[in-house]
C-alpha cells in the first residue's frame, strides 16, 4: 500500500494514472462540512467585511495589549 493524493472533479476522485484501473482506494475527507450561512448571516458578514475595508476595525493584538495595560 502507498499513499497518493487525488482531486475531486465532477463528483469523482481522480488519482494519478499509475493507479491501476479498478483498484480499491480509501478516501480521507475533511471532517468539517462546508459552511452554509443564512441570508441574515451573509448580510452581517458582508457588512463586517465592508467595515474592515473602510478601516473601521481594531487590530486584535493591539486591543489585547490595551486590555492588559492598566489604564
Grid coordinates belonging to 23: 483498484
- Please give the pLDDT value at position 1: 52
Give the integer Cα–Cα distance in Å for 56 and 28: 41
Per-residue model confidence as pLDDT tens digits over 11-65? 888 888 888 888 888 777 777 767 678 889 888 888 988 898 898 888 888 888 8
The pLDDT value recorded for residue 20 is: 85
pTM of the model: 0.41
- List, in sequence order, every beta strand (DSSP E) within 1-71: 7-9, 12-14
The residue among 6 and 30 whose pLDDT is bigger is 6
pLDDT at 67: 86
Amino acid at each position: 500500500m502507498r499513499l497518493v493524493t487525488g482531486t475531486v472533479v465532477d463528483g469523482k476522485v481522480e488519482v494519478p494514472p499509475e493507479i491501476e484501473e479498478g483498484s480499491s482506494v480509501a478516501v480521507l475527507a475533511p471532517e468539517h462540512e462546508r459552511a452554509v450561512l443564512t441570508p441574515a448571516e451573509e448580510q452581517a458578514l458582508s457588512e463586517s467585511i465592508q467595515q474592515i475595508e473602510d478601516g473601521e476595525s481594531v487590530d486584535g493584538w493591539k486591543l489585547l495589549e490595551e486590555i492588559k495595560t492598566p489604564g
